[in-house]
Structure 1
């Protein structure tokens, strides 16, 4: 990789981390039903990073987890954000090997759903550790494993993830068209 391309990627990664830190801190659209939280577009920076490379996606995911800590979210929510490293890295790896996956609607939505399921699985594991530890700080845990973990976190995360990935694709496609920023070949 040449120096100019490397500088470009580092700069984009730094901007995405900054955005990922700011979104949970300042977003007026956040719903916290611990152990779940839904902050509109909170995954978009990490998902845009997936279009660049697996390493950048992982770095942005780690950076955005700090945004949840700095935003005063409960530790379970910050740890859920830290688990994004897994889906971001895996998703970026798939995109790097199969860049055409986003070119048609069917493969885009199948990839998006698969990514959402992996994302939810990682978050359900994190929340389950808190659920089974008995270290419960929220009344939502009292609704039981099915309601508080599987439905609220699991299904909620799949839907939230799919919306945010769709938004990430739109943002990245728009930025690539509206500026001199070179878009990756994943999205045309």
Structure 2
């Protein structure tokens, strides 16, 4: 099912606004320079159920919003979301029926979470190695930061947020046309 361009633009704008607003109001866990805000990825994950194009727009819009409102490293991490969002959305387009199979969906969710975390580890490592933060030493604290907090913590954070998004979108799909759920019900 195709949505009208005005609907897509409006929904994309609302999701971008939510992406920038959520970190201001939701609980946050901060461990060193790593931080995890509950539901911060939900708007982007919601976009993935609509289209790769919407996922791309929301990822870019969110990155720009964070460039204006947050530290530069946060904007770079948000920009890295472009990778998993587009890949994940393309996968959903090809296999929409996965949303009807909880075990398969959770495996897909884990793969997206791993791509998400690896992309953020690469961005953060590059940022620190290029001198973006003089507070972090390049010894065990760097390893701990990257792999334990950004890597493993990022996977867990992604898994939780995608499940929240799935629950929201599945509920909305009962009264609002969500393309992936519409395609899944037709197969």
Q: TM-score, normalised by structure 2?
A: 0.87
The alignment of Structure 1 onto Structure 2 pairs a total of residues equal to 183
Deviations 1:110-135 (A, max 9, x none): 00000000000110110110232244
1:150 pairs with 2:147: yes
5+ residue gaps, structure 1, are none
5+ residue gaps, structure 2, are none
Deviations 1:37-66 (A, max 9, x none): 211111000000001110110110111223
Aligned pair in 2 of structure 1 residues 55, 34: CA closer, same or farther (>3 Å)?
Answer: farther
1:102 matched residue in structure 2: 99
1:116 matched residue in structure 2: 113
Deviation at 1:172, TM superposition (A): 0.8
2:13 matched residue in structure 1: 14
1:91 matched residue in structure 2: 88
Tell me how large the CA RMSD over aligned residues is: 2.2
1:164 pairs with 2:161: yes
2:177 matched residue in structure 1: 182
Deviation at 1:5, TM superposition (A): 2.2
Deviations 1:17-44 (A, max 9, x none): 11112112x2241233454221111100
Q: Is the 8 A contact 2:55 2:89 kept in 1?
A: yes
SS across alignment from 2:40:
coil
